[in-house]
Chains A and B, each alone.
Chain A
Amino acid sequence: MDLDALGRCVSTASCLVTQTTSGLIAGLLLFLVAAGLTLIFGVLKVVNFAHGTFYMLGGYIAFTTLQVTESYTLAVLAGGAAMAVFGIFFERALIARVYGQDVLMQLLVCYAVVLIFDDLVKMVWGADFLAMGMPPAFQVPPLFIAGGIVPPFYAVLIGIALVIAIALAASLSGTRAGKTVLAAAQNPTMVSALGVNTDRLFAVVFAIGAALAGLGGALAAPVRSLTPGMGFSVLIDSFIVTVIGGMGSIAGALLASVGVGLIRGFGTIGFPTFTDGLIYVAMIIVLLLRPTGLFGREVV
């Protein structure tokens, strides 16, 4: 524990800016993954243990798309789109068979997919770390804001992630499909009693959730290294985020993701050996005060 260092950091603008930036970027990328997870749970009541796999595949597909097309934009879009398609297939072919079944059955199906795709990634891309690298346009000296270091690419990533977050929130509350999804998250029985084709709705929701994870992986690829099994730690973080934010709540996921990111950012300075532990402490405190999470509601 190094509270002196933390105190010094918080009281200097430069350190504050640097750590906040890195916290925000980690948090917002995490949000994309966790939002998909919480959306899928909220509507389908399935805990998608394979969600980290979508994140990993999104990153690898972006990597290869970049090599082929040399376009970062295409790489990111390909990562998201490929996972949307994969998500529909995964939901229809596998998850649809375990709806309403024991959670262990769901876990088993998802975990099988995790292991299979970890190995497939090893076969296709190899077991070593891969670095995608930042787009050339952003390989420039960092910006200095109040003395703090902010690489321009980080600022762009934060911007993109924020735009996706806002677009997601706006389309949930402002579009027909979004409103139906919100309704289904609260009361799936009633939505099907209203005559909505819930099979189709579930497939679409799963596709959106998977695409968000794929986008997260693709966006994160330039700033993190790619490795088989990289989905696992993201999955754990996403679970923490959904628990803190409240299962099924997008707003909760945003708040919790940014919170987790910032705790990481500042935790590495004040508690370098206990950063991950801090996140669990935060989770425990939230659960003690609000057992359903920040924005969670009692399950009826």
Chain B
Amino acid sequence: MSLKVENLTKRFGGLAAISDVTLDFPTGSLTAVIGPNGAGKSTFFNLISGAIRPDSGRVLLDGEDVTAHSRGDIVRRGIGRAFQVASIFPTMTVAENLMVAVAAHRGQWAGLGRRFPPPGARVRAMEVADLVGLAHVADTLSAHLSHGDQKLLDIALALALEPKVLLLDEPTAGMGPEERWQMIERVQRLWERQNLTLVFIEHDMDIVFRVAQTIRVLCYGRVLAEGDAAAIRSNQAVIDAYLGTEEHAA
């Protein structure tokens, strides 16, 4: 499924968090979105997933306008997302977390007289757990998982909704170097196997340059540059605005 945004704009107060952004994410592509803090990356995801409404511009899924649609509708049409801070249900086990998502996806979340889990939900939950490599901790309370596994569970919750487009907001945030690579390799494998259109926000430039097919650089809410690793590395505007300062800071 292809994702396209056209002239997307969102202001908070007088400040444009996202300003006239037009980007194309072809079916099956693997894209990194980078940019300094406050560049509008998370806002960009929030706009696509329907969490907030843009002031102007359009979000197109396979050419179909989903801009004014509810969050639920956008999820059902195939845009899944995982959050920067692992967004899970801590007092539930991994399997229960996933069963809640499976039930929600099947529209089986209501019903005071209906038993939880719905039939078949556990089997599906275990399939999803297996996809991200959490099957061995399926019955562990999710609050007791390691930070990395909690992030994986968050991604798994999105996968339970059978997305065609997956947005990952800093999948490696808060991880040590080794853990980061494990995480990104898993994400890459998911992308290959599930035939996803994957967009991820990332700060680690090694990961970005090594993994992403295409890189989009946001700065002050605008698209500063786009291209493959070589093009971004040699782009003077990117070096000035972003990479340069980053290296100074580091």
Interface bits B7-32 vs A (CB < 8 Å: 1, else 0): 00000000000000000000000000
Cross-interface CB contact of A182 among B92, B105, B113, cutoff 8 Å: B92
A132-187, CB < 8 A from B: 171, 173-180, 182-183, 186-187
Secondary structure dominating the interface of A = helix
Does A69 touch B at the CB level, under 8 Å?
A: no
Decide if A180 touches B112 in the complex (CB within 8 Å).
no
User: If A179-B100, A189-B87 touch, does A195 touch B92 (CB 8 Å cutoff)?
Assistant: no
Interface bits A183-205 vs B (CB < 8 Å: 1, else 0): 10011011111111100110010
Within 8 Å CB of A204, what residues of B?
110
Does B115 touch A at the CB level, under 8 Å?
A: yes
From residue B235, how far is it (CB to closest CB) to chain A in Å?
Answer: 34
Decide if B109 touches A196 in the complex (CB within 8 Å).
yes
Number of A-B contacts (CB under 8 A): 97
Interface bits B123-166 vs A (CB < 8 Å: 1, else 0): 00000000000000000000000000000000001100100000
Within 8 Å CB of B41, what residues of A?
none
Decide if A194 touches B112 in the complex (CB within 8 Å).
no
In the complex, what distance in Å separates the CA atom of A200 from the CA atom of B118?
20
Within 8 Å CB of B75, what residues of A?
193-195
Within 8 Å CB of B51, what residues of A?
193
Within 8 Å CB of A194, what residues of B?
75, 100-101, 104-105, 109, 157, 161
Does B116 touch A at the CB level, under 8 Å?
A: yes
Within 8 Å CB of A182, what residues of B?
89, 91-92
Closest chain A residue, CB of each to CB of B108: A176
Interface bits B216-239 vs A (CB < 8 Å: 1, else 0): 000000000000000000000000
From residue A208, how far is it (CB to closest CB) to chain B in Å?
Answer: 8
Does B58 touch A at the CB level, under 8 Å?
A: no
Does B114 touch A at the CB level, under 8 Å?
A: yes
Decide if B104 touches A196 in the complex (CB within 8 Å).
yes
From residue B103, how far is it (CB to closest CB) to chain A in Å?
Answer: 6
From residue A195, how far is it (CB to closest CB) to chain B in Å?
Answer: 4
In the complex, what distance in Å separates the CA atom of A7 from the CA atom of B44?
67
Chain B residues with CB under 8 Å of chain A are 49, 51, 71-73, 75-76, 81, 83, 85, 87-92, 96, 99-101, 103-105, 108-118, 157-158, 161
Chain A residues with CB under 8 Å of chain B are 171, 173-180, 182-183, 186-187, 189-197, 200-201, 204, 297, 300
16 further interface pairs, Cβ-Cβ under 8 Å (given A177-B112, A178-B112, A187-B88): A175-B111, A176-B108, A177-B109, A177-B111, A180-B100, A180-B103, A183-B100, A187-B89, A193-B51, A193-B75, A194-B101, A194-B109, A195-B104, A201-B109, A201-B110, A204-B110
